[in-house]
Each structure stands twice: as C-alpha cells, then as structure tokens.
Amino acid sequence: MTKIYNTKQELMFEDESLSLKELVEKNKSNLKYADLRFADLGFADLRFANLNEANLEGADLEGADLRFANLEGADLEGADLRDADLRDASLRGADLWGANLKKANLSGACLWGANLNYARYSSQTVYSCGKTVGELVKNGGNNG
C-alpha cells in the first residue's frame, strides 16, 4: 500500500496499485505540506504541481519536469535536481541548501528569498535571462 502523509504525519493519499512516483504524479495538484523526504521522483511529470511547503529533503528529482510548479517554502535541502526542468517554477522562500542543481533549467523561476547556500550547480545550470546560478549566488547563496 503506497501512502503519502503530510508534514504532521496525517494521511493524505493512498493507493495499493500505484508506486509512490505514480501516486505523486496523480495527485500533483494537491501536495501542499506533503512529506516526501528522500522520495524517488526521478523523471516525474510534476508540471503545475502544488508542492507548497512540502518536505522534499533529500528527494531524487533528477530529470523531473517541474515547469510552473509551486515550490514556495518547500524544503529541498540536499535534493537531487540534476537536469530538472524548473522553468517558470516558484521557489520563493524554498530551502535549497546543498541541493544539486547541475544542469537544471531555472529560466523564469522565482527564487526570491530562496536559500541556495552550498547548492551545487554547473555552468550549464541556467537561471533567468541566460544568467547562471553562479552569477545569482554571489552573496553566499541566499537570494533574499
């Protein structure tokens, strides 16, 4: 039985026939406060997902499609976002401490107040207007 709980450990969704990734994709519009710590969500289709205040600490989101996703206030500490598509996503106030953003596409993403301390990125990590995350993180990573 696959289950998704919120950060208060209250049951949100369950389904015996779906994997966790499939259950997340099925309910992506209503995952506010979801507890998805260390979840394997690599290459998941999370376009337009509502992950506001979700706990995604250490989650595998490599190659995930997160275009237009709401990740405001989400905990993405140590998350793997390599090659993730975060175009036009809202990461306002998100905690990306130590996250792997190598080759992630953040074009048009809102990072206002996001914590990028110790985030890993590469020259292929694109932020807004073709700028790299390296140019964004000149003040030690906090985009506040």
- pLDDT in tens for each of the 144 residues of the chain? 999 999 999 999 999 999 999 999 999 999 999 999 999 999 999 999 999 999 999 999 999 999 999 999 999 999 999 999 999 999 999 999 999 999 999 999 999 899 999 999 887 776 664 555 666 555 444 444
Residue 26's closest CA among 37, 12, 10? 12
Are 31 and 49 spatial neighbours (Cβ–Cβ below 8 Å)? yes
Residue 76's closest CA among 54, 50, 92? 54
pTM (two decimals)? 0.89
Domains of the chain: 1-144 (2.160.20.80)
Residue 9's closest CA among 36, 28, 43, 47? 36
Ramachandran class of 141: left when φ > 0, alpha when ψ lies in -120 to 50, beta otherwise: left
